[in-house]
Amino acid sequence: MRLISLLLAGSLLGATASPASRAPAAPAGSWRAVLDLAGGPLRFTLEITGAGTRLAGRICNGERCEPVSGVRLRGDSLDIEIADYAATIRARIDGDSLSGLYRNVGNRGPRVIPIRAARGRWPVERAPAGMLGRWDATFTTDGRTSPRVIELRNGPRGMEGTFIANTGDYGHFWGRAAADSFSLSHFDGSFVYMITGRLDGDTLRGIFHAGLRTQTLWTAVRSTGRQHLRRPTEMTQADTTAPFRFAFPDLSGRMVTNEDPRFRGKVVLVDVFGTWCPTCHEAAPMLTRLWRDYHARGLEIVGLAYEVSGDSAVDGALVRRYREKFAVPFPLLLAGINDVEAAAQTLPQLTGFTSFPTSIFLGRDGRVRRVHAGFYGPSTGTMHEAQVADFRRMIEQLLDER
């Protein structure tokens, strides 16, 4: 029912000046927000804190939130900057309502999506048991199909889930269910994803929406446990005839290579990542834990950062911030830019590199023993747990080899 009242509030904006609108706009608080895509409303929560010139904001999908880089209030106009993505939200506050535009600028013009919001929190809407669990999905675009796995569950803020492609997962989705239908979204300021579906007998059918207009049809059947996606360890192959070579500068400009004494005779986990990559952020705490648990026994970890600008000053600052955020105890090197094809060229001993992050396990002889593409974040539930256990098993096995 709250959705209806929000819609009404949105449609009435600007029609009359309510007494509340004459008071100075006070943006602080929680806003239940909607991006109006061509395929329907994408829900998220906008949280604003502070007052005056000291405003801050977060974009939340359920309980998962990401900070924005700047919030400014000018009169009744709220400007939100999401600088990493060259995106902005500009909206007018009218009492307990807000309406405006989300913009993300590309080379062919701006992508503009209407945004509206009302004060308050979204209601918790849980999905019926028949919808929950793991589903093997098939996405179809222009007659071509590709597999996905969809995980659906109920969380503290309502229905949530994720879906996973061969190249990794799409992050945390949150949303709502009503009767036999659901709608989950992931909006982080850059990626605008929504997945809508309906239970039709024992099949789920729906549409995956990317951005304002891109739509992909999908169907899914309950997972039987049989492998539906390619295994993450089969995506990328490596040349194992020679030690894995890397040579990139660290954050102080010093060249670090696989031949440095610190790596000699050690088990090395090479983490190919980027500070722009949400899944990499999800993997970071696990990597730090692995280093703490196994470093004394001979594990080294090295992060190869592929960043947005190619300018070492700009990229270095981003990687420093990441190092501080996760208290990363191992070296992080500036390896290149965040472009799968360009990154692949800097790692010529790999073929089929597709994913950020990719974890490359090296034995004590420096040769590749396994390449794991992507990372199942905590949103993927049991798949995440199984993967962490697998990483530990692999590291212990390599440490035991003399």
Partner 1 sequence: MIRLAPLAALCLSSTTLLAQLPADLARERAAYAEWLATAANSPYLAVAQQPIGPGLRIGPAGSDLPLEGVPEQRITQQGAIVALEGPGGRRVLPRHRPVTLGRFTVVAGGTPGRGVLAVFAPREHRETPAYYPHSPTVVFEGPLVPADTPRTLRILAPDGVDVEATEAGTVVVPIGGVATSLRVMRIPDPGTGESELEIFFRDGTNGRGTYPAGRFVSLVPAGPGRWRLDFNRARNPFCAYSTAYACPAPWRGNAIPIPVEAGERYEAK
- Which residues are near partner 1 by CB under 8 A? 38-39, 101, 103, 105-112, 114, 141-144, 191, 207, 210-211, 213-215, 308-312, 336-339, 341-342, 344-346
User: CA–CA separation, 93 vs 113, rounded Å?
Assistant: 17
Minimum distance from CB of 90 to partner 1 (Å)?
Answer: 10
Minimum distance from CB of 352 to partner 1 (Å)?
Answer: 15
Minimum distance from CB of 214 to partner 1 (Å)?
Answer: 4
In terms of CB distance, is 338 or 387 closer to partner 1?
Answer: 338
In terms of CB distance, is 142 or 324 closer to partner 1?
Answer: 142
In terms of CB distance, is 219 or 223 closer to partner 1?
Answer: 219
In terms of CB distance, is 312 or 354 closer to partner 1?
Answer: 312
- For 85, phi then psi, to 5°, come to -110, 10
Minimum distance from CB of 291 to partner 1 (Å)?
Answer: 28
CB 71 within 8 Å of CB 57: yes
In terms of CB distance, is 28 or 210 closer to partner 1?
Answer: 210
CA distances from 142 to 146, 208, 216, 229 (A): 11, 14, 9, 20
| Residue 172, both tokens | 């945390």
Which contacts qualify for 78-83: CB closer than 8 Å, 24 or more apart?
Answer: 78/25, 78/27, 78/48, 80/46, 82/189, 82/190
In terms of CB distance, is 39 or 133 closer to partner 1?
Answer: 39
DSSP assigned state of 121 = -
User: CA–CA separation, 196 vs 217, rounded Å?
Assistant: 10
CB 159 within 8 Å of CB 175: yes
Minimum distance from CB of 112 to partner 1 (Å)?
Answer: 4
Nearest by Cα to 332 from 370, 392, 288: 288
Minimum distance from CB of 37 to partner 1 (Å)?
Answer: 9
User: CA–CA separation, 279 vs 194, rounded Å?
Assistant: 18
